[in-house]
Structure 1
């Protein structure tokens, strides 16, 4: 551990919660250099929807590497990229009646958000962006302006401008969309007409807040009526995490722009995309670029992931069954320990349980770690314990992880009761 303390920056975070050295991983399991095993309910913050070292994806990648497939090609044409674009179009876009152009940005989610904001401003000629409370869109400057968390905003080093903030659905019982519609129609509201509205359908870092179908449809209508683009940030909630490939599918809306990263690469390999309606493609060649905007190894594993899991609806059925299993445990635990727990949150395999404060959530997470489970917290005060295991987890493995959580919640509830008495 000394090398990390000596050489690595204090900016690291997850290692503070899980101070062990991992050496191998498979499926939903992580193993340390001492041979201790942990069930993974973090999954690379949603980058490992298909699990660690997925056998199908690994074989495809090894075969590609052994045959000297192109590793790095800037944004030049490669067979790997062509295969991915075919798979994305045929198995993701066409069945959902979506028509999107695909932009490969730098390999991070925040870079995809940067590109989406730039494109929206370029196309509309406007500068203002609407973002919401409890949002998280990244930590580079443009994306950070749209991120609401003060912990991240506080280190920007300069004023964060160009974004107007509105209440997300359910925030402080304020109807943010009614406010938006009123302000757009009032010349004295002081709200500059925005280029776009940027949102997460299910807010990940913000505490698993879910936008309803009706709310999303109303937002889409307001945007359409006022010539405002809708940008859905599906970086964490996409690729099946909420039960469907895109988080917005159940609502029936079709965003103008969508950002993807994290699990789109399939294997945990860095990759990020911006999807947008063809009429918005006003980029000039090289106007938004990056040396690593074409990760060919990620193209291989991303293609294999789509072909292996999204050609039929069997994977969605598996996610739905796992989601019910998680919700059942959440509901049961809420009934058992009302002294420390408040409510269940989220949707699909992006669920969690809100504790009465962040200290309790942290204590549950720490206890889970002691018992062999990696699980983290979310929310404005880290008050939500967040279940985020790989979507490929088996029923028995999921049951094992949920049992560890139940035991941890029971232990913390008992400790709290003893302290109170």
Structure 2
């Protein structure tokens, strides 16, 4: 509000919703650029205030980041709170929980990846808060789920509810076009199918290999650098890994590393290109071997899971460090990714004629997200039963068949 008395300067008053403006700007900035790429100056500019004014509201960028991440996860807690107050039909409760989570995620799609990918930068105490918030949401899903499926083990119920959250959250990993109503219907259907999925009790024949890849100096400098760099990016984050760290990991001086690689961004881009090219090549190979779409998808899922189990750090880094890939490399990667996803999506539509290609892309993205979240879905080691379970969940997500064929 401004004073306009004769001869007196206008008085600019602080908007009543300034705190909410800062919260929205922080969430949008961190969601689109990642924690490390955002500065207090960036957030202040989004709000239309000076950095000094922003510091009067919050003492640091970290405080804004923490509030953004925990605010998003608290939103999931708040939107599912009704489940604690009802003893009604468990099927209707589970459906209502799914709908509430889907609506909240669609409404916050641009920033929803914050708690999925950037939460690793939270301090330990704040990360514990996030874990508790997500546990509350999972437990609210467990109650009706275990009432409907009393033979499930508690660990299986946890896997299914966590997988449901992964599928819902997968829309924050990509920006494929689809009408909001269609996204809502598709996510609710995929989530319901996964929550109803029959799970394997023993290792499926032809399960993917489980032995993680180990690459040493004997493989040559190029492969050794890629492997150790991805490991460090996974363990410490791209921003917290230096060329000196990479050089030390492979046992050479940093000057020797710089002679072969201009910088760590180039190494990251090479790792991304390796992953994208392998996925594209595996897809082409499977298509050349099979004419039946379901058989081809079967092979592709096994091959894809095999790659994930072989080098589990790479898919996680691929999803979390994307904003650090140089723009020219990113454009090439997007071309490869879109081509590969379309190939999978066409197989899905061939196996499910009722599904349109736009929806199929979302199903493929959700299936990929399940493999990236493998370590979160299974706290224990990735034994044969865990791999068979994740394979089954991918199959249900892609083909929509929670009950296995006899």
Structure with the largest fraction of strand: 1
**Which is greater in Rg?**
2
TM-score scaled by structure 1? 0.27
Q: Please, what TM-score do these two structures have when normalized by structure 2?
A: 0.28
Higher helix share: 2
Task: Specify which structure has the bigger relative contact order, considering alpha-carbon pairs within 8 angstroms and separated by 6 or more residues.
Answer: 1
